[in-house]
């Protein structure tokens, strides 16, 4: 929260999605709680059919469909939108594209991502499948800063669950996703107080 003309104003964040948007939902719900310090001001999706867009619309949040990773022109347009809306933090939530390096530079230390594994283990896709194949005893999820290397930025928060022999990709996905919904809003607040 920031004081502007004697009034407390919420910090604006943007959420980038590509699909279902269940993390977007948990972030929006957290932002709507009494005393929340932040507000989801913009949602950007690179996919027209991303389900998460429906929720953004329902909640009256500005939303744009643009695959800005395709051209620098589009990327600069999105950066302008972020600036115009005084976006303090960009949260990638199931955003399945690599953010270009010029974009990361502009928002240095202000882009974070959630990943369904205990990073630095299992970067990239199919994390749960690989966790099972390697007979891991634990897995979990991580919120980290975004840098130009995939799933490699500094870790902000990480939480783990233990695995049972009978666990499947589906059962792990369900448990980890529940944990993601819990830790992402916590990570956002943790980062916002440092900005
Ligand atoms: C989550 O598991 C997230 O960790 C990964 O993609 C999934 C997105 O789910 N990066 P949702 O769109 O937030 O429901």
What pLDDT digit, counting tens, does each position of 105-115 carry?
999 999 999 99
Average pLDDT across the chain, whole number: 95
Tens digit of pLDDT for each residue in 117-168? 999 999 999 999 999 999 999 999 999 999 999 999 999 999 999 999 999 9
The answer to whether the CB of 128 falls within 8 A of the CB of 107 is no
- Quickly count: other Cβ atoms within 10 Å of residue 14's Cβ: 25
pLDDT of residue 2: 62
Which of 47, 94, 141, 172 most suits a substitution to test ligand 1, by most atoms within 8 Å of the C-beta?
94
Asked if 115 is an active-site residue, the reply is yes
Q: Looking at ligand 1, which atom is closest to the CA of residue 20?
A: 12
Q: Looking at ligand 1, which atom is closest to the CA of residue 92?
A: 10
pLDDT of residue 4: 53
Tens digit of pLDDT for each residue in 164-185? 999 999 999 999 999 999 999 9
Whole-model pTM: value is 0.95
pLDDT of residue 9: 85
Which of 18, 114, 151 most suits a substitution to test ligand 1, by most atoms within 8 Å of the C-beta?
114
The answer to whether the CB of 94 falls within 8 A of the CB of 176 is no
Tens digit of pLDDT for each residue in 24-75? 999 999 999 989 999 999 999 999 999 999 999 999 999 999 999 999 999 9
DSSP element (H, E) containing 190: helix 169-192
Between CA 84 and CA 113 the distance in angstroms is 22
């Amino acid at each position: 929260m920031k004081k502007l003309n004697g009034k407390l104003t919420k910090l604006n964040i943007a959420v980038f999605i590509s699909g279902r948007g269940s993390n977007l939902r948990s972030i929006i719900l957290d932002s709507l709680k009494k005393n929340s310090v932040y507000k989801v001001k913009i949602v950007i999706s690179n996919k027209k059919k991303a389900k998460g867009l429906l929720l953004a619309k329902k909640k009256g949040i500005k939303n744009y469909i643009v695959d800005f990773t395709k051209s620098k022109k589009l990327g600069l347009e999105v950066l302008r939108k972020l600036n115009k809306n005084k976006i303090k933090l960009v949260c990638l939530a199931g955003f399945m594209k690599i953010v270009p390096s010029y974009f990361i530079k502009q928002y240095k230390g202000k882009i974070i991502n959630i990943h369904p594994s205990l990073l630095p283990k299992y970067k990239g896709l199919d994390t749960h499948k690989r966790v099972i194949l390697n007979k891991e005893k634990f897995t979990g999820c991580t919120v980290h800063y975004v840098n130009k290397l995939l799933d490699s930025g500094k870790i902000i928060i990480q939480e783990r669950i233990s695995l049972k022999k009978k666990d499947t990709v589906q059962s792990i996905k369900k448990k980890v996703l529940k944990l993601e919904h819990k830790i992402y809003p916590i990570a956002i607040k943790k980062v916002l107080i440092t900005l």
